[in-house]
Amino acid sequence: MPWSEAFLRSQAAPAAPTAAGERVISYTHALAEALALALEIDPRVFVLGQGVNDPVGMFGLTTGLAARFGARRVFDTPLSEDAMTGICTGAAMQGQRPVLLHNRPDFLLLTFSQLVNHAAKVHYMDRGRHRVPMVVWAAIGRGWGSGPQHSQAIHGLLLSVPGLKLVLPGTPHDAKGLMLAAIADNNPVVILEHRWLMKASAAVPEGIYRVPIGKGVYRRRGSDLSIVGTSHTLHLALRALDSAACAGISADVIDLRTVKPLDEDIILESVARTGRLLVVDPGWSLGGVCAEVGCLVAERGFDLLRAPIRRVGLPDAPAPAGFALEQAYYPNEVTLAAAIRGLCG
């Protein structure tokens, strides 16, 4: 099953080659380390969520944290997603730095009143008198019956909300560095991890470092097209690029890492060199990151384009639960390779 270690490892991002002496740890371990470091250096930080102190410890992110930092700083919550979001907002307004963990982004849909109507607007509405330094974290699910209500990547819905920052890390290094950056940020930051990346292992520096929010990064340099995207879908695109079907095609591959604020410069700079754009994202294509990045390039980089923009996100349908349907629903190496070839053909 997809949550088994073996399956997740097989799906996880291929480990980048590590230099001698670099420490290789798992994605979850990197996140756990980020939380522990944040709790250690800043007494204002506290971590909460459903089951953070249970034996599973939120995928292992919070295992042992309560024993180390005490139940006042790491605690389980009632199943009251909207109120917990507002409670974190209120505490953050007083200078605390809550990190609110959810199993799945689907549950964030119950929090839109506090997240969108309040957390995102407090600083604006009271003209900077309060800040809302809080982190809301959740892991996107996929497969094994997760289905319509346990696999939604909802960042597209939040993309148009002023006041929020949206982060989708793709590597253990970035997961840790972006978590630390989000906790240090003075705004509400939503981090959506992808469950299928969380068993990857890669080089992760020890100690504190922060990956800047709002900055994308080149995963590869090439000349035929720009593949711009996030999270697990970008990993699939990388695999597609490496497959025989894409032999001879060289691509710029940009991991946005943050979709709000969007690193517009890196996208336009790349498209200026390649003239072709493929946008990939684990969310729906319609009105989401795919649409926004496509629109950005159409608006500001139209003259740079040699071919129509292509997007590969999810179709305008909920995620089906069953295996056969799910195979057809999600993009995969084959469909992504076809999209890449199609663009360059």
Partner 1 sequence: MSAPVRYSYAGTGYSPGDLSGYAPEFLLRLYREMLRIRRIEERIEARYHEDQMKSPIHLVIGQEAISVGACSALAREDAIYLSHRTHGNYLAKGGDLKAMMSELYCRKNGCAGSVGGSMHLFDVDAGVAGSSAIVAGSVPIAVGHALAAQQRGTGQVVGVFFGDAGVEEGVFWESLNFAVLHQLPVLFFCENNFYSVCSPLTVRQPEGVEIHRKATAFGANTMLVDGTNVLRVHGAVRSAVAAARAGRGPQFLELQAYRWRGHGGAGDDSKSGYRSTDEAAQWRQYCPVAGFGDLLRAQGLLDPDLHENMESGIAAEIDAAFEHAINSPDPDPEEITRFVYSP
Of 297, 286, 285, 273, give the one whose Cα is nearest residue 335. 285
∠ CA 142-145-151, rounded to 5°: 35
Q: Indicate left, alpha or beta for 210 from its phi (over 0: left) and psi (-120 to 50: alpha).
A: beta
Residue 232 is among the residues annotated as catalytic for this protein:
no
Shortest Å, Cβ 103 to partner 1: 18
Interface pattern 251-290 for partner 1 (x via CB under 8 A): ----------------------------------------
Q: Is 82 exposed, middle or buried (0-12, 13-18, 19+ CB in 10 A)?
A: middle
Tell me the number of residues near partner 1 by CB under 8 A.
41
Of 63, 82, 144, 224, the one binding partner 1 (CB under 8 A) is 82
In angstroms, the CA 254 to CA 216 distance is 7
Contact 327, 214 (CB under 8 A): no
Tell me how far, at minimum, the Cβ of 302 lies from partner 1, in Å. Answer: 26
Residues 6 or more apart in contact with residue 165 via CB below 8 angstroms: 182, 185, 187, 188, 189, 190, 213, 214, 258, 260, 261
Residue 130 interacts with partner 1 (CB under 8 A)?
yes
Binding test (CB under 8 A) with partner 1, winner from 17, 21, 55, 78: 78
Q: For residues 125 and 298, which CB has a smaller minimum distance to partner 1 in the complex?
A: 125
CA-to-CA dists, residue 318 to 146, 241, 291, 326, angstroms: 11, 27, 18, 10
Q: If binding is defined by CB under 8 A, does position 158 make contact with partner 1? A: no
- For partner 1, the closer CB: 134 or 336: 134
Alpha carbon distances (Å) from 145 to 136, 153, 319, 321: 25, 15, 9, 4
Which residues 6+ apart lie within 8 Å of 22 measured at CB?
203
Q: Is 85 in the site for partner 1 (CB under 8 A)?
A: yes
Q: Is 159 in the site for partner 1 (CB under 8 A)?
A: no
Q: Does 114 bind partner 1 (CB under 8 A)?
A: yes
95 touches partner 1 (CB under 8 A)? yes
| Contact between 163 and partner 1 per CB under 8 A | yes
Q: How far is the CB of 82 from partner 1 (least distance, A)?
A: 5
Nearer to partner 1, 10 or 80 (CB): 80
Question: Binding to partner 1 by residue 45, rule CB under 8 A?
Answer: no
190 binds partner 1 (CB under 8 A): no
Nearer to partner 1, 47 or 200 (CB): 47
- Helices 289-300 and 264-274: angle between axes, nearest 10 degrees: 60
Active-site position among 118, 150, 173, 194: 150
* 131 binding partner 1? (CB under 8 A): yes
Specify the pairing of strand 165-167 against strand 258-260: antiparallel
End-to-end CA distance of the chain: 37
Q: Report the candidate in 158, 80, 152 with the shortest Cα–Cα distance to residue 115.
A: 158
Question: Can residue 126 be called a binding residue for partner 1 (CB under 8 A)?
Answer: yes
Q: Does 90 bind partner 1 (CB under 8 A)?
A: yes
> Kind of pairing, strands 201-203 and 189-194?
unpaired
Q: Determine if 88 is a binding residue for partner 1 (CB under 8 A).
A: yes
Q: Is 203 in the site for partner 1 (CB under 8 A)?
A: no
Cα three-residue angle 186-191-195, rounded to 5 degrees: 160
Sign of the torsion formed by the C-alpha atoms of 259, 220, 171 and 152: positive
> Binding residue for partner 1 (CB under 8 A) from 49, 57, 86, 143?
86
Task: Determine if 117 is a binding residue for partner 1 (CB under 8 A).
Answer: yes
Taking contact as CB under 8 A, which single stretch among the options 1-9, 34-42, 128-136, 194-202 is the one that binds partner 1?
128-136
Radius of gyration of the chain (CA): 20
Q: If binding is defined by CB under 8 A, does position 187 make contact with partner 1?
A: yes
Query: Which spans of this chain sit near partner 1 (rule: CB under 8 A)?
Result: 46, 72, 77-78, 80, 82-96, 113-114, 117-118, 122-133, 162-163, 165, 186-187
Catalytically annotated residues: 150
